[in-house]
Structure 1
Amino acid sequence: MAFELTLPSFAKINWTLRILGRRPDGLHEIQTIFQTISLNDRLSFARLEDGRVEIYTDSLALPTGEANLVHRAASALQKRFGVRRGARIRIEKRIPIGGGLGGGSSNAAITLLALARLWELDVSGSDLIELGAELGADVPFFFLGGTALGYGTGRMVTPLPDVEASHLLIIVPSVKISTAEAYASLNAPALTNEETAHILSVSRKTEDLVERLQGVLRNDFEPTVFRSYPEVRRAHEALLESGAKLAFLSGSGSSVVGLFDNEEERQRAASMLLGAAVGRIELCSTLGRDQYRARLGECAALLASSNGEEFHWGVAKW
Structure 2
Amino acid sequence: MSSKSLDMYCLQELDETDYHDTFRPTLEKWGYGSVFKKRNGDKTDGCAFFYRQSTVEVIEIRTVDYHTNAFVDRDNIGIVALLDLKQGKSRGMIKLAQLRMLLEEAESMIRRAHSEDTPFVLCGDMNALPQSMIVKYLINESVDVSTMPETYMSGQEKGKIPRGCFHNSIDTFCKAFQPTLEENKNGDDQGPETGQETENGKISPVISQPFALKSTYPIPGSRRGPSRTGHDEYWTTFHLMAKQVCDYIFYGYLRTSSLAKTSTYHGEQVRLEAVSNSRLPCSELSKSCKGLPALDFGSDHLSLVTKFRFVKEAAKQRKKAARTIE
Output the TM-score relative to the length of structure 2. Answer: 0.24
The structure with the greater share of residues assigned to helix is 1
- Tell me which of the two structures has the higher relative contact order, counting C-alpha pairs closer than 8 angstroms and 6 or more residues apart: 1
TM-score by length of 1: 0.25
Rg larger for: 2
